[in-house]
């Protein structure tokens, strides 16, 4: 019945040639395709030819559009097909319009065929759609405008931003809206080999194909942009594959920053090793015995103190002590004796420990910084306080000692020891007398360093000695509680 | 301080972009649609999908101008290159300089917008005010409609942080480390409870603004792209199980859009409290994969943790989904013609898109192995776990060497490990 009707309008065996006015003219394709489907012209009897395409091969074909019979059925096409087809029509594949027609033809008898993702035609149109969307997305991303300053003396002239871009598909016109919405108050032009767009804040004008030379060759802002690109790159992580996947080489030639890539890649490994070296990050595994620490600290040169003429001083005391007493660093006499707290401050400490009844031999006594820091004055080596960075560097060793001895309570004497335990500088007067929980479950008590008492006289010294004793007494009491 | 004045914008940019690169996020997606069309002098648009305007050789997307206002900082966080005790060169932008730079880059289509963070100078409030001032000039004086991501400072007053949310598309607060103990140890000036309190406040502001928007069309928007956070991986002893657990708690409690992971990387002038070597980059990748499993594949945090090995870490040689499947082989093979969507999503090698395609296609045909091959990237990975009309893996899921068979070749691994 249907066949009989359509024969009135289509000659049997006619070969149709459809010449598209523009390579991205989806509207034209749609009109022609609708009429051809209504006239029931099968896909293999139509040649779709785009501008510049070789239409002469089909010189014998029928170029007039067929007129559908007045009672022809409406052509069916679902939303999904239309959405894909609009994009796929912009693809550079010369067979795209034939594919679209073939799908439209098949949809007439199987309206739900677009759901069949395993069908070859369905997969192809999805591929084309995806490629076009990707190309559009890359155009949004990789177009680079260059500023053309207005000529001097011309007051009416505006700043004009011009870009040169080479899209892979026929996407220029379809993406005009994006740049219009984004740069609505700028005068801009996008030049491509297929055509050009010009926006003057009010109207969009289309222009003829352009050449690279028509666009400006640079922009002063590009130096800043390149330096940003180089600075934001983290040379510690090189993932060239990931970069190439998203920013293929074909785009590089129109991106000012891409010229830096080879040198950034080459410099990356070198820079990382330099960073690690400069960062004194050469520690390996934590030593597992006190003997190993002893040996390692003697070889430690991770801060400038280690380079002085001195010898490391290891902590001493029972390996399973409940109490760890931590000072600042060895002094002159400790350095010579190779033992902690044997000089004047150590002797004063012994007096106070005995007074409150703490047995020094039961405690593990050590220092935050393992080497003696000093300045030479004549024959004398004058004590120098370690810097925050030196304490932080040396923290590695005291933490290794803590991990082995596992004391229940740590008494840090002085600001340096407190920093070594807490990682930050605290005020002794604010934190003394109260336990500070540490992450390994032990608790920290902070007090003054005995050498501080040595530097005071008279009532001030008495006052500080009283506070020191009070701290030690509190520690002793707490130790007894913990032992229970 | 005087020396700083002589820094040119170029020098400052170098220092302050370099200092900002340890923040992983550069996303510009998921915000409200904006356009400058029809505005008097406005510039910029956001259309939902983020755009990466360039990629650096580290494989990361460059979408936003990501800089610090200043890298001077009164805090002393050990993992941070800008900590007080670090010897890095310091610089400081004025808010106007940041605005000019953002607009100049934006007009040339280099960027989607600005991601501004800062070291803490003077006080947390002062710093936060400066950050907000940049956003204010951009939005109010230049009618800038591009993307703005502001890092907010948990120690700053809620009032100022709220102001940031009114200008920004997204706000974020870094939790920094996956465990509180790690934070105490490596970021002694920060307080986990204060950070979570600030995130909770932002969450409340977000829901309030959303509520108001439903009732009043012109109610002010508050960070339409939501809030996110970042965790540093490999700087403390936290295992992947700890990290996944923390991330899922954060997603639940603060309705975060994203949790970013940043593999701790050696920083210049590092503190010795830090671990010694950087964790393999692949670890960060595996964590992101596990993040995806929870967000898009219906895995519960507990299930992702089941994929970890005895040491609490995810295997590095295979992805977490495959690791889970190998542990729970009794759940396979899955019949692609009958299985539910949830079951299909668990098949290693089948992504969300492939699963949707399978579900759509099987209404039209009974799927054979060939058909499935057309819908997936690699059928070899999928094959051991599925049944089709013409394919049934014979005892394959019982094979002890299945893991070796499916693990990517070492050469491929290197590509990520770089």
- In angstroms, rounded to a whole number, what is the distance separating the alpha carbons of residues B62 and B53? 6
- In angstroms, rounded to a whole number, what is the distance separating the alpha carbons of residues A420 and A231? 33
- In angstroms, rounded to a whole number, what is the distance separating the alpha carbons of residues B112 and B368? 45
β-bridge partners, B176 = B231
**pLDDT per residue as tens digits for the range A45-97:** 999 998 877 656 666 777 788 888 888 889 989 899 999 999 999 999 999 99
Read off the tokens for B252: 């639940």
pLDDT at B178: 87
Q: How far is A307 from chain B (nearest CA, A)?
A: 17
Which residues numbered 295-354 in A keep a CB inside 8 Å of some CB on B?
A: 302
Q: What's the whole-number mean pLDDT along residues B404-411? A: 61
Angle between helices B320-327 and B281-296 (to 10 degrees): 70
CB-CB under 8 Å, B104 with A144? no
- Which residues of chain A does B62 touch, with a Cβ-Cβ cutoff of 8 Å? 229, 232
Q: Which residue has the higher pLDDT, B381 or A29?
A: A29
pLDDT at A257: 94
CB-CB under 8 Å, B20 with A423? no
CA atoms within 13 A on the CB side of A339: 9
Q: Does B185 touch chain A (CB under 8 A)?
A: yes
Q: B11, B57, B79, B280: best mutation site toward chain A, by most A Cβ within 10 Å?
A: B57
CB atoms within 10 A of CB A155: 6
**pLDDT per residue as tens digits for the range A174-212:** 999 999 999 999 999 999 999 999 999 999 999 999 999
Q: Which of A254, A239, A103, A87 is nearest to A166 (CA)?
A: A254
Question: Torsion over CA of A372, A425, A418 and B273, rounded to 10 degrees?
Answer: -70
* Secondary structure class of A196 (helix, strand, coil): strand
Which residue in A has a C-alpha nearest to residue B53's C-alpha?
A: A141
CB-CB under 8 Å, A231 with B17? yes
Q: Does A204 touch chain B (CB under 8 A)?
A: no
Nearest beta carbon to residue A272 from set B21, B184, B266: B266
pLDDT at A3: 43
Which residues numbered 330-359 in B keep a CB inside 8 Å of some CB on A?
A: 357-358
**pLDDT per residue as tens digits for the range B289-320:** 999 999 899 998 888 888 888 888 898 888 99
Query: Cα Rg for chain B, rounded, in angstroms?
Result: 24
Residues 6+ apart with CB under 8 A from B165: B152, B171, B202, B205, B206, B209, B222, B223
Q: Which residue has the higher pLDDT, A163 or A309?
A: A163
- In angstroms, rounded to a whole number, what is the distance separating the alpha carbons of residues A134 and A88? 12
Q: Is the pLDDT of residue B401 over 80?
A: no
Which residues numbered 246-265 in B keep a CB inside 8 Å of some CB on A?
A: 263, 265
Q: What's the whole-number mean pLDDT along residues B38-49? A: 88
CB-CB under 8 Å, A394 with B272? yes
* Secondary structure class of B56 (helix, strand, coil): coil
CB-CB under 8 Å, A118 with B365? yes
> Interface pTM (ipTM) of the complex?
0.84
Q: B10, B42, B55: best mutation site toward chain A, by most A Cβ within 10 Å?
A: B55
CB-CB under 8 Å, B60 with A281? no
pTM: 0.76
- Which residues of chain A does B188 touch, with a Cβ-Cβ cutoff of 8 Å? 422-424
Number of H helices, E strands in chain A: 17, 14
Whole-Å CA distances, B199 to A167, A417, B206, B317, B328: 43, 34, 10, 35, 36
- In angstroms, rounded to a whole number, what is the distance separating the alpha carbons of residues B49 and B63? 11
Q: What's the whole-number mean pLDDT along residues A203-225? A: 93
CB-CB under 8 Å, A265 with B39? no
Q: How far is A22 from chain B (nearest CA, A)?
A: 28
Distance of CA B372 to the CA centre of its chain: 32
Between chain A and chain B, the number of residue pairs with CB atoms below 8 A apart is: 235
CB atoms within 10 A of CB A153: 6
CB-CB under 8 Å, A439 with B185? yes
CB B229 within 8 A of CB B256: yes
User: What is the secondary structure of B16-48 as a DSSP string?
Assistant: HHHTTTT-------S---B--TT-SS-B--B-S
CB-CB under 8 Å, A234 with B265? yes
- Which residues of chain A does B85 touch, with a Cβ-Cβ cutoff of 8 Å? 388-389, 392
Which residues numbered 361-380 in B keep a CB inside 8 Å of some CB on A?
A: 361, 363-365, 367, 371, 374-375
Nearest beta carbon to residue B17 from set A142, A185, A232: A232
């Amino acid at each position: 019945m249907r066949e009989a009707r359509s024969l009135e309008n289509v000659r049997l065996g006619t070969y149709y040639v459809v010449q598209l006015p523009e390579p991205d003219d989806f509207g034209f394709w749609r009109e022609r395709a609708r009429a051809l489907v209504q006239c029931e012209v099968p896909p293999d009897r139509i040649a779709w030819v785009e501008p510049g395409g070789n239409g002469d091969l089909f010189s014998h074909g029928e170029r007039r559009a067929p007129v559908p019979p007045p009672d022809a059925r409406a052509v069916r096409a679902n939303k999904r097909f239309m959405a894909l087809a609009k994009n796929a029509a912009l693809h550079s594949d010369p067979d795209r319009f034939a594919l679209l027609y073939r799908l439209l033809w098949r949809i007439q008898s199987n309206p739900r065929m677009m759901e069949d993702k395993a069908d070859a035609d369905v997969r192809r149109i999805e591929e084309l759609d995806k490629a076009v969307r990707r190309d559009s997305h890359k155009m949004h991303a990789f177009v680079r405008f260059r500023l053309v300053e207005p000529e001097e003396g011309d007051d009416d002239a505006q700043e004009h931003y011009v870009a040169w871009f080479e899209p892979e598909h026929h996407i220029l016109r379809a993406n005009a809206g994006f740049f219009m919405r984004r740069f609505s108050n700028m005068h801009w032009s996008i030049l491509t080999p297929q055509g050009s767009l010009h926006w003057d804040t009010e109207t969009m004008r289309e222009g003829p194909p352009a050449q690279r030379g028509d666009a400006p060759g640079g922009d002063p802002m590009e130096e800043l942009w390149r330096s940003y690109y180089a600075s934001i790159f983290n040379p510690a992580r090189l993932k060239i594959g990931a970069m190439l996947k998203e920013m293929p080489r074909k785009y590089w030639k129109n991106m000012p920053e891409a010229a830096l890539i080879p040198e950034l890649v080459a410099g990356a490994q070198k820079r990382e090793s330099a960073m690690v070296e400069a960062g004194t990050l050469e520690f390996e595994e934590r030593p597992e015995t006190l003997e190993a620490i002893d040996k390692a600290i003697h070889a430690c040169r991770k801060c400038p103190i280690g380079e002085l003429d001195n010898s490391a001083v290891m902590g001493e005391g029972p390996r399973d002590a409940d109490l760890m007493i931590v000072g600042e660093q060895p002094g002159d006499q400790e350095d010579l004796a190779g033992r902690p707290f044997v000089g004047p401050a150590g002797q004063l400490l012994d007096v106070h420990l005995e007074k409150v009844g703490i047995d020094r031999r039961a405690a593990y006594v050590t220092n935050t910084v393992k080497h003696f820091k000093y300045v030479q004055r004549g024959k004398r080596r004058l004590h120098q306080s370690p810097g925050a960075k030196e304490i932080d560097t040396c923290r590695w060793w005291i933490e290794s000692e803590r991990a082995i001895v596992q004391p229940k309570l740590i008494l840090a004497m002085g600001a340096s020891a407190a920093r070594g335990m807490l990682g930050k500088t605290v005020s002794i007067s604010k934190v003394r007398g109260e336990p500070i929980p540490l992450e390994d479950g032990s608790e920290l008590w902070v007090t003054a360093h005995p050498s501080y008492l040595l530097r005071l006289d008279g009532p001030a010294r008495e006052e500080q000695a009283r506070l020191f004793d009070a701290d030690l007494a509190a520690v002793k009491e707490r130790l007894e509680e913990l032992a229970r | 301080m005087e020396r700083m004045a002589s820094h040119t914008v170029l020098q400052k940019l170098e220092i302050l972009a370099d200092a900002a690169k340890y923040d992983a996020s550069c996303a510009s997606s998921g915000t409200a649609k904006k356009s400058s069309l029809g505005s008097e002098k406005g510039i910029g648009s956001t259309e939902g999908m983020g755009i990466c305007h360039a990629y650096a050789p580290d494989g990361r997307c460059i979408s936003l101008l990501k800089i610090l206002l200043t890298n001077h900082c009164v805090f002393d966080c050990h993992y941070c290159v800008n900590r007080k005790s670090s010897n890095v060169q310091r610089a400081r932008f004025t808010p106007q300089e940041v605005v000019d730079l953002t607009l100049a880059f934006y007009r040339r289509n280099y960027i989607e917008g600005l991601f501004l963070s800062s070291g803490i100078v003077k006080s947390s409030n002062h710093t936060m005010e400066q950050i907000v001032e940049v956003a204010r000039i951009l939005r109010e004086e230049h009618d800038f409609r591009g993307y703005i991501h502001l890092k907010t400072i948990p120690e700053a007053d809620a009032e100022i942080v709220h102001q940031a949310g009114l200008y920004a598309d997204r706000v974020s607060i870094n939790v920094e480390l996956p465990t509180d103990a790690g934070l105490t140890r490596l970021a002694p000036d920060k307080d986990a409870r204060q950070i979570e309190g600030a995130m909770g406040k932002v969450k409340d502001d977000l829901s309030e603004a959303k509520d108001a928007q439903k009732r009043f069309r012109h109610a002010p928007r508050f960070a339409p792209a939501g809030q996110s956070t970042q965790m540093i991986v490999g700087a403390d002893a936290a295992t992947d199980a700890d990290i996944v657990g923390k991330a899922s708690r954060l997603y639940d409690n603060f309705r975060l859009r994203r949790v970013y992971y940043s593999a701790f990387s050696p920083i210049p002038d590092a503190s010795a409290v830090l671990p010694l070597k950087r964790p393999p980059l692949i670890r960060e990748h595996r964590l992101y994969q596990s993040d995806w499993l929870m967000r898009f594949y219906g895995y519960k945090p507990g299930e992702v943790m089941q994929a970890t090995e005895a040491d609490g870490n995810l295997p590095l040689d295979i992805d977490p989904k495959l690791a889970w499947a190998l542990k729970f082989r009794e759940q396979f093979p899955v019949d692609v013609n009958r299985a539910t969507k949830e079951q299909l999503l668990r098949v290693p090698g089948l992504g969300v898109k492939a699963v949707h395609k399978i579900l759509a296609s099987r209404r039209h045909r009974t799927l054979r192995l060939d058909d499935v091959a057309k819908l997936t990237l690699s059928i070899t990975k999928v094959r051991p776990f599925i049944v089709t009309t013409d394919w049934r893996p014979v005892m394959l899921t019982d094979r002890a060497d299945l893991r070796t068979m499916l693990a990517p070749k070492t050469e491929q691994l290197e590509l990520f490990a770089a």
